[in-house]
């Protein structure tokens, strides 16, 4: 195992498997991610944000017309 410190205060622990480097655990701002995919999945999808915006706009227009 090798722990690598990054300039932004994050640290990445890596394991070597057959000479290939794979990311095991990432520490960012005191939070631990078992996989980098977990960190990416925490971001909302653009489609979900667009649907939320359309819903809020629809409610605002409905209140305005009534």
- Taking alpha carbons only, the member of 24, 20, 27, 44 closest to residue 35 is 24
Q: What is the pTM of this model?
A: 0.34
Instruction: Return the SS3 of 30.
Output: coil
| Distance from the Cα of residue 11 to its chain's centroid | 16
> Can you tell me the distance from the alpha carbon of 38 to that of 17, in angstroms, rounded to the nearest whole number?
21
pLDDT tens readout for residues 2-57: 555 555 555 555 555 555 455 556 666 666 656 555 555 556 678 888 899 999 99
Phi and psi at residue 43, to the nearest 5°: -80, 135
Classify residue 45 by its DSSP letter. Answer: P
Overall domain count for the chain:
1
Domain of 36 in residue numbering reads as 2-65
């Amino acid at each position: 195992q090798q722990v690598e410190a990054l300039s932004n205060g994050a640290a990445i622990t890596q394991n070597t498997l057959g000479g290939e480097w794979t990311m095991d655990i990432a520490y960012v701002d005191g939070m631990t991610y078992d996989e980098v995919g977990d960190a990416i999945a925490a971001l909302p999808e653009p489609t979900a944000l667009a649907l939320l915006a359309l819903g809020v706009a629809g409610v605002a227009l409905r209140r305005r017309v009534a």
